[in-house]
Amino acid sequence: MTDRSYRFTHAITRRPAASITHGLRAVDTGAPDLARMQAHHDAYIATLRETGATVIELDALEPYPDSVFVEDTALCLPSGAVIMRPGAPSRLGEAAEMAPHLAALYGDLRRISGAESFIEGGDILMTETEILVGRSARTNAAGIAELAALTADWGEVVREVHTPPGVLHFKTDCSLLDAETILSTPRLSASGCFKGYRLIDVAEGEEAAANTIRFNDLVLMPAGFPRTRDAILAAGFTVREIGNSECAKLDGGMSCLSLRFTPKA
């Protein structure tokens, strides 16, 4: 059994910009508290490092309010990395900002470049055997088709699925816990897109717990969802709860805050 989808030597994060108060959100639930967000971010990075990984912390990018959510800018695979083309116009430039950092770590860096192609990393779930990409308001069929074409010679199999209506990203509603196990909201798992995987549904009313990350030996999950935490613990995983109250105001979660990968020169 391989473990490419959850064992990594590196992660990249970016410090939250003060401009995040202008970040995108589906519903305005109030301004994020920057000091609290930074404290949560520090705890997140410390937890990634606890697994032995190297974490590269990039400087804040004030012109891009949502730039703390680095996951949307790229997809890092065992053979190479692909720079995304975010569907949110205010986030398009974030991808170009990430490119030089990945170029320094990967010998093969490719780019989604079609004028009509849009795809964000938050819509992509890499498993051991396939790459699931959810069509959403940010990711379209052309973006998915271009990703499939760009990664075919790396042996990657891309499968188009659907992000539930009204949900920002595919991974807002699901996470990979190990090679066989996916944590999901019932509304997404009911679509049947995870056939063949072992499923753990988040507890009713705890849908915001679905965005976790498995990073080496740990599962990082947002604090405040005890029934889902207990279900993950009962399945045998080691859990770390990280405060996410401020990023949640911007529809962000555990996966959004990092790119997780093993570089390939």
Catalytic positions are 169, 256
Distance (Å, whole) CA 176 – CA 183 = 6
> Which tokens hold the place of 174?
């699901």
Q: How far is the CB of 196 from ligand GLY (least distance, A)?
A: 30
**Closer residue to ligand GLY, CB minimum distance, 246 or 251:** 251
Q: Are 18 and 227 in contact (CB under 8 A)?
A: no
Q: Are 131 and 156 in contact (CB under 8 A)?
A: yes
**Closer residue to ligand GLY, CB minimum distance, 201 or 207:** 207
Within 8 A by CB and 6+ apart from 92, the residues are 85, 86
**Closer residue to ligand GLY, CB minimum distance, 189 or 212:** 212
**86, 65, 53: which is closest to 18 by C-alpha?**
65
**4, 10, 3, 6: which is closest to 176 by C-alpha?**
6
**Closer residue to ligand GLY, CB minimum distance, 171 or 229:** 171
In DSSP notation, 121-143 reads GGGEEE-SS-EEEEE-SS--HHH
Q: Which amino acid is at 91?
A: R
Q: How far is the CB of 253 from ligand GLY (least distance, A)?
A: 10
**Closer residue to ligand GLY, CB minimum distance, 94 or 178:** 94
Rounded to an integer, what is the distance from CA 208 to the centroid of its chain?
14
Q: Nearest 5°: phi and psi at 168?
A: -60, -60
Question: Interface residues with ligand GLY (CB under 6 A)?
Answer: 23-25, 66, 69, 88, 91, 168, 250-252
Strand 259-261 and strand 10-14: the pairing is antiparallel
| 240: three-class secondary structure by DSSP | strand
Sign of CA dihedral 211, 254, 249, 91: negative
**Closer residue to ligand GLY, CB minimum distance, 15 or 25:** 25
Q: How far is the CB of 4 from ligand GLY (least distance, A)?
A: 26
Q: How far is the CB of 71 from ligand GLY (least distance, A)?
A: 10
Q: How far is the CB of 26 from ligand GLY (least distance, A)?
A: 8
Q: How far is the CB of 233 from ligand GLY (least distance, A)?
A: 29
